Structure 1
Amino acid sequence: MTMATGAATAGPAVTAASTLARTYLDLVASCEALNVRIASEASQALLDGAELTRSEKALDAFIDAEAGRIEERHRHVPRRDVAASRALHDYLWSVSLLMSGAWYLERRVPRIAPQDVRVDVAAAAFEIVPGSDFACLPDDPAAGLPGVRVVAHEEALRAELRASVAEHVGPLLTAVGPHARRRSRALWGMAADDLVSGVWYLGRVLGQEDRAVQAATELLPTAIPPFPGGADFRRLAGRDGRRHLTRTRLGCCMYYTLDAAQACSTCPRTCDVERLRRLEAAD
Structure 2
Amino acid sequence: MAQSIARLNTGSDIRFGMQSDDWTICSELLAEPSRFDLWRKDLAEWMVEQYGESDDRATAGYIMGWYLHQPAYLAGLLFHTARRVPSLKPRDMAFHLATDGRPHPDGIALFSDEFTCLPDDPASNHPAATVVANEAALAAVLRARYAAHAAQFVASFGQVVRFGRRQLWAAATDMLEYAPWAAGRLLGDENAGVTDAALILPEKIEPFVAASSLHFTDEGWKRKRNSCCFHYVLPNAEPCTACPRTCNNR
**How does the TM-score come out when normalised to structure 1?**
0.78
Q: Distance in 1 between matches of 2:38 and 2:98?
A: 9
Q: Is residue 191 from structure 1 mapped to residue 168 from structure 2 by the alignment?
A: no
Q: Say which structure is richer in strand.
A: 2
Q: Distance in 1 between matches of 2:25 and 2:197?
A: 28
Measure how far apart 1:87 and its partner are: 1.1
Specify the code of the residue in structure 2 equivalent to 1:232. Answer: S
Matches within 5 A, 1:137-152: 137-152=118-133
Specify the code of the residue in structure 2 equivalent to 1:108. Answer: R
Q: Counterpart in 1 of 2:8?
A: 29
Q: Distance in 2 between matches of 1:179 and 1:188?
A: 16
Measure how far apart 1:142 and its partner are: 0.9
Q: Distance in 2 between matches of 1:105 and 1:111?
A: 16
Q: Counterpart in 2 of 1:48?
A: 25
Match of 2:15 among 35, 38, 42: 38
Unaligned runs of 5+ in 1: 1-16, 238-242, 276-283
Unaligned runs of 5+ in 2: none
Q: Counterpart in 1 of 2:137?
A: 156
Q: Distance in 2 between matches of 1:218 and 1:45?
A: 35
Report the CA distance shift for 1:171/1:39 in structure 2 as closer, same or farther (over 3 A): same
Give runs of ≥4 in structure 1 deviating > 4 Å: none
Match of 1:228 among 185, 205, 209: 209
Report the CA distance shift for 1:139/1:105 in structure 2 as closer, same or farther (over 3 A): same
Q: Is residue 65 from structure 1 mapped to residue 46 from structure 2 by the alignment?
A: no
Larger Rg: 1
Specify the code of the residue in structure 2 equivalent to 1:90. Answer: W
Q: Is residue 258 from structure 1 mapped to residue 227 from structure 2 by the alignment?
A: no
Q: Say which structure is richer in helix.
A: 1
Q: Counterpart in 1 of 2:89?
A: 113
Q: Secondary structure at the match of 2:20?
A: coil
Q: Secondary structure at the match of 1:180?
A: coil
Matches within 5 A, 1:234-245: 234-237=215-218, 244-245=220-221
Higher relative contact order (CA 8 A, sep 6+): 2
Measure how far apart 1:65 and its partner are: 2.3
Measure how far apart 1:266 and its partner are: 1.9
Q: Secondary structure at the match of 1:142?
A: coil
Measure how far apart 1:234 and its partner are: 2.4
Q: Percent identity?
A: 30
Q: Distance in 2 between matches of 1:91 and 1:195?
A: 12
Measure how far apart 1:57 and its partner are: 3.6
Q: Counterpart in 2 of 1:214?
A: 195
Report the CA distance shift for 1:114/1:155 in structure 2 as closer, same or farther (over 3 A): same
Report the CA distance shift for 1:245/1:60 in structure 2 as closer, same or farther (over 3 A): same
Specify the code of the residue in structure 2 equivalent to 1:263. Answer: P
Report the CA distance shift for 1:137/1:130 in structure 2 as closer, same or farther (over 3 A): same
